[in-house]
Amino acid sequence: MNTVFVNGELIDRDKAKIDIEDRGYQFGDGIYEVIRVYDGSTFTMKEHMERLYQSAEKMKLSIPYGEEEFTSKLLKLIELNGIGDGIVYVQVTRGVSPRQHHFPAKDVAGSVVAYTKDFPVPVGQMENGVTAKLVEDIRWLRCDIKSLNLLGNLLAKEEAASNGHFEAILHRGDTVTEGSSSNAFIVKDGVIYTHPVTNLILNGITRRVIESLCGKNGIMFQEKTFSVTELLGADEVFIASTTSEVMPVIEIDGKVIGEGKPGAVTKRLQSLFSERIGIETR
Ligand SMILES: *Cc1c(COP(=O)(O)O)cnc(C)c1O
C-alpha cells in the first residue's frame, strides 16, 4: 500500500483528493521540499524543515503544524511506506478559497501534502558525468524561496531535456546563477566557486553540505560569481542537489569541460559526501 499525508491524515494514495480551488493548484501559491532518504533514514532533514519554515515566512504563509510535530509525521510516513533509498516530497499551499489574487482570510488553513517515492542513487550518472545546456535565467527575483511557482525552471529544464541533456545551467546575462533544480559549481586551479547566497539562487542544502565538507577537508571554497566564459573554461564543473548529490558535468553546449570526464576534486567531494551520508544515517 502507498500511504500519503493529506491535511493531517494518512490515507491511501488513490483516495487522496485536492480541491480545485486550492491556491497551490490555481496559482502555485505554496512551497515545497524534497528530502532524501537513504536506507530508511532521512538525510539533513532538520535543514530541509528549517528551510520550509523560512520559505513559508518569506511568503507570509502559515504552516498548520510546528516543526517537530511535522517532522515526526513525515518520519511516520517514511516508515509506513517502508522506504529504503527514496525521497519524501512535502508541499504546503495557502489553502482553499474562491479564486482571488489577494490572500484569503487568516482562518483559511494551509493545505499540506506529503508523499514518499523510491529513488535509487544515480550511480551511473555520478560515475560517468552528465551533459548540460546553457539557458538564460528568466526567473523572478525571489529564487531564494522554494516556491511551487517553477515555470521559469520548467521551461529551462525542458529546453535541456528535449535536447538530451541532464540539466539546464542558468545565466543572467553573463553571470551563471544555478541549475534549473540544482546549484552549479566550477573548479579552477583547485578552488571551487559557486554563486553567493542571494535572492538569485536557492540556497541548496546539498550546497551547504559541500561547503562544510570543503571547510573540514582543506578544499578551497569560494562564494563568488563566475561568468559563462569561466564556466566553459573551468577545469571541472559539477551540480548539486538532494537527488543528484555531487553530479559531474562533463560537457556544456557541446563544449567538453576539462578532460571530458569527472575531475579529481569532484570525485573527492563525491567520496566525502558518501562518507557524510554514512555518518548521518547510521
Ligand atoms: C531545490 C533546489 C536546489 C537544490 O537544493 P537542495 O536542497 O540541495 O536539494 C537548487 N536550485 C533550485 C532552483 C532548487 O529548486
Active centre residues (catalytic): 146
* Residue to mutate, 51, 194, 202, ligand 1, most ligand atoms under 8 Å from C-beta: 202
What was the pLDDT predicted at 60? 96
Single out the residue in 118, 151, 184 at which a domain terminates.
118
CA 210 to ligand 1 centroid distance, Å: 13
What was the pLDDT predicted at 281? 85
Single out the residue in 59, 90, 118 at which a domain terminates.
118
* Residue to mutate, 146, 155, 170, 277, ligand 1, most ligand atoms under 8 Å from C-beta: 146
User: Which domain range does residue 106 map to?
Assistant: 3-118
Whether 154 and 270 share a structural domain: yes
In tens, the pLDDT along 117-137 reads 999 999 999 999 999 999 999
CA 105 to ligand 1 centroid distance, Å: 31
What was the pLDDT predicted at 162? 98
Single out the residue in 84, 102, 118 at which a domain terminates.
118
Cell of 262: 569527472
Whether 113 and 128 share a structural domain: no
Whether 92 and 163 share a structural domain: no
Counting atoms of ligand 1 from 1, which one is nearest the CA of 44?
Answer: 7
Q: Confirm if 21 and 32 have CB atoms less than 8 A apart.
A: no
* Residue to mutate, 37, 139, 181, 210, ligand 1, most ligand atoms under 8 Å from C-beta: 181
What was the pLDDT predicted at 137? 98
CA 146 to ligand 1 centroid distance, Å: 8
Whether 114 and 131 share a structural domain: no
What was the pLDDT predicted at 1? 67
Q: Whose CA is nearest to atom 14 of ligand 1?
A: 181
What was the pLDDT predicted at 154? 98
Q: Whose CA is nearest to atom 12 of ligand 1?
A: 181
Counting atoms of ligand 1 from 1, which one is nearest the CA of 34?
Answer: 9
Counting atoms of ligand 1 from 1, which one is nearest the CA of 241?
Answer: 8
Cell of 83: 522506504
Whether 73 and 212 share a structural domain: no
Closest by alpha carbon to 41, among 207, 247, 277, 269? 277
Whether 132 and 249 share a structural domain: yes
Whether 51 and 149 share a structural domain: no
C-alpha distances in angstroms, 125 versus 128, 133, 163, 265? Answer: 5, 16, 17, 17
CA 35 to ligand 1 centroid distance, Å: 11
CA 40 to ligand 1 centroid distance, Å: 22
Whether 13 and 108 share a structural domain: yes
pTM of the shown model: 0.97
Instruction: Find the helix packing angle between 264-280 and 205-217, rounded to 10°.
Output: 100
Q: Whose CA is nearest to atom 6 of ligand 1?
A: 204
Whether 199 and 259 share a structural domain: yes
| Residue ranges lining ligand 1, Cβ < 6 Å | 34, 146, 153, 178, 181-183, 202, 204-207, 240-242
In tens, the pLDDT along 204-223 reads 999 999 999 999 999 999 99
Q: What is the CATH number of the domain that holds 191?
A: 3.20.10.10
pLDDT tens for the chain, 282 residues long, are 699 999 999 999 999 999 999 999 999 999 999 999 999 999 999 999 999 999 999 999 999 999 999 999 999 999 999 999 999 999 999 999 999 999 999 889 999 999 999 999 999 999 999 999 999 999 999 999 999 999 999 999 999 999 999 999 999 999 999 999 999 999 999 999 999 999 999 999 999 999 999 999 999 999 999 999 999 999 999 999 999 999 999 999 999 999 999 999 999 999 999 999 999 887
Whether 223 and 91 share a structural domain: no
